[in-house]
Amino acid sequence: MLPEIVWNMPMHGTVNVHGSLLPQYRGAAPINWAIINGENETGVTVFRLKHEIDTGDILLRKSLPIGENDNVEDIHNKMMRVGGRAVVEGLDLISNGNPTYLPQLETSDLKPAPKIFKETCKINWNQPILEIHNFIRGLSPYPSSWTTVINGEKLMDIKIYKANPVSENEGNSGKVSTDRKTFLHIYGKDGYLEITELQIPGKRRMPVSDLLRGFTFEERISISE
């Protein structure tokens, strides 16, 4: 963190670019939380720094869509391009002497974007299947969602990077279905996820079909809550 005495030195103050449409998603992980929460839009904000994190007056905002299958990497790459153009536009406004700063409005519906820890990334299979899907893509490829597989007497944490949601009238949270060759399905409360890319300890990230060629899931396998 730069001390206030430093970022107050410039004649026009110091501006920053943040990966959300402020005041929504203030914090360390705005891209992750926007996807986890199922948003269909995010963006970047160029704003003037003040002491409280991500609360300074807004110079400009640029929005971008979040596709239903976009993950953090997808949105990060789109945001780099949008954010770069936004910074240049903001600096032009300042250098031309006509910037207009608008204060951030404090409302009751603001969503935070706190730092993400390993415990945050554990999948809860008792949730609706679309929420689990959003959770997985909101943590992919980094830091990645994970779950604990109970395979016989062994416990093993696996990371899940990609999956396709399939809604059904009834789910069976934690149930696993596989033909041991081509597919792996894990159930939530109202459907299942067709897992397409994952990683087990000691192995590289790989498609499910590649993993199943060399790793056998027992019929008794289950997923912990």
pLDDT at residue 221, as a whole number: 47
pLDDT at residue 217, as a whole number: 65
> 218 pLDDT band (50/70/90 cuts)?
low
Q: What is the pLDDT of residues 75-104, one digit of tens each?
A: 999 999 999 999 999 999 999 998 999 999
Q: What is the pLDDT of residues 134-177, one digit of tens each?
A: 999 999 999 999 998 877 677 888 999 999 999 987 778 888 88
- Supply the mean pLDDT for the chain: 91
Q: What is the pLDDT of residues 47-56, one digit of tens each?
A: 999 989 999 9
Q: What is the pLDDT of residues 23-33, one digit of tens each?
A: 999 999 999 99
Given a cut of 80, whether residue 6 has pLDDT beyond it is yes
pLDDT at residue 131, as a whole number: 97
Rounded distance between C-alpha atoms, residue 205 and residue 160, angstroms:
9
141 and 173 Cβ atoms separated by less than 8 Å: no
Given a cut of 80, whether residue 44 has pLDDT beyond it is yes
Question: Beta-strand (E) ranges in the chain?
Answer: 15-18, 41-48, 58-65, 145-151, 154-167, 176-178, 184-187, 191-199, 206-207, 222-223
Given a cut of 90, whether residue 63 has pLDDT beyond it is yes
Given a cut of 50, whether residue 220 has pLDDT beyond it is no
Phi, psi for 162 (deg, rounded to 5):
-140, 145
**Domains recognised in the chain with CATH numbers:** 4-95 (3.40.50.170), 118-223 (3.10.25.10)
106 and 22 Cβ atoms separated by less than 8 Å: no
Q: What is the pLDDT of residues 99-122, one digit of tens each?
A: 999 999 999 999 999 999 999 999
Range name among 76-90, 187-201, 207-221 with the lowest pLDDT average: 207-221
> 223 pLDDT band (50/70/90 cuts)?
low
Q: For strand 222-223 and strand 154-167, is the pairing parallel, antiparallel, or unpaired?
A: unpaired
